[in-house]
Chains A and B, each alone.
Chain A
Amino acid sequence: DAGITQSPRHKVTETGTPVTLRCHQTENHRYMYWYRQDPGHGLRLIHYSYGVKDTDKGEVSDGYSVSRSKTEDFLLTLESATSSQTSVYFCAISDLAGSQTQYFGPGTRLLVL
């Protein structure tokens, strides 16, 4: 299994508070991704990174920001959490652009009250 961890694994927070989720990899992979999983929608891409300090938006990026200051860490921040951001968040990594098989972390369950 690819070495990917996510923290925290579970979080309950209140509307309006900032929340940061961390994804950490030990594989030295270039590409990292944040997805959210909601019933009926599969996984939807929030943001992704193709190198240190290189990031781009996915299909559901509103209300989220990301940062990648080191190869191994990719942070997802909910600037002001809303109930619609209650979801399961998955981080993924991949190595080469041509390969693009993504390996996923264990997920973070976030509940925004």
Chain B
Amino acid sequence: AQKVTQAQTEISVVEKEDVTLDCVYETRDTTYYLFWYKQPPSGELVFLIRRNSFDEQNEISGRYSWNFQKSTSSFNFTITASQVVDSAVYFCALSEASTGGFKTIFGAGTRLFVKA
């Protein structure tokens, strides 16, 4: 069965600190997708990144980077030099094949506070 664990419920950092958000997943499928979404205080859900199970390359996008390791079933997200605007709830998600398409399971989320 699918499962996504975000063990960090809340993290508080001071601006310009680096912070890593952890995501551990469980799946029996060999084909699956992993995602990160951001939910700022305004409430909308913003897509950040998608990774498929065959692509273990790490990715960097500006201050954001993602580390995907199949050996440990982890897909961690690092924000470098955090800013107040990074304050949000971040969700990790896992999609695997199901009837008619894919089903997605979300982690419980990590709330990040970045203080000025």
List CB contacts (< 8 Å) of B20-50 with chain A: 33, 35, 37, 43-45, 47, 50
Q: Produce 1/0 per residue, A88-100, CB < 8 A to B.
A: 1010100001011
**CB nearest to B44 among chain A residues:** A106
Instruction: Report which residue of A41, A42, A44 has the largest number of chain B beta carbons within 10 angstroms of its beta carbon.
Output: A42
> Is B62 on the interface with A (CB-CB < 8 A)?
no
- CB atoms of B44 and A56 under 8 A apart: no
Residues of B within 8 A of A101 (CB): 35, 47, 50
The answer on a CB contact under 8 Å between A43 and B95 is no
Q: Is the CB of B44 within 8 A of A104?
A: yes
Chain B residues within an 8 Å CB radius of A97: 101-102
Q: Tell me whether A42 and B109 are in contact (CB under 8 A).
A: yes
Say yes or no: A42-B108 contact (C-beta < 8 A), given A54-B100, A56-B98.
Answer: yes
- B63 at the A/B interface (Cβ < 8 Å)? no
The residue that B45 contacts in the complex, of A41, A45, A104, with Cβ under 8 A, is A104
* B75 lies within 8 A of chain A by Cβ: no
The yes or no answer to B99 lying at the interface (CB within 8 A) is yes
Chosen A-B contacts, 13 in total, with CB atoms closer than 8 Å, are A33-B104, A42-B4, A43-B45, A43-B93, A43-B106, A45-B105, A48-B103, A54-B100, A58-B103, A97-B102, A100-B33, A100-B101, A101-B35
Given contacts A30-B101, A51-B100, 19 further A-B contacts (CB under 8 A): A33-B104, A35-B106, A42-B106, A42-B107, A43-B93, A44-B106, A45-B105, A50-B99, A56-B99, A56-B100, A58-B103, A88-B43, A90-B45, A97-B101, A99-B50, A100-B95, A100-B104, A106-B43, A107-B43
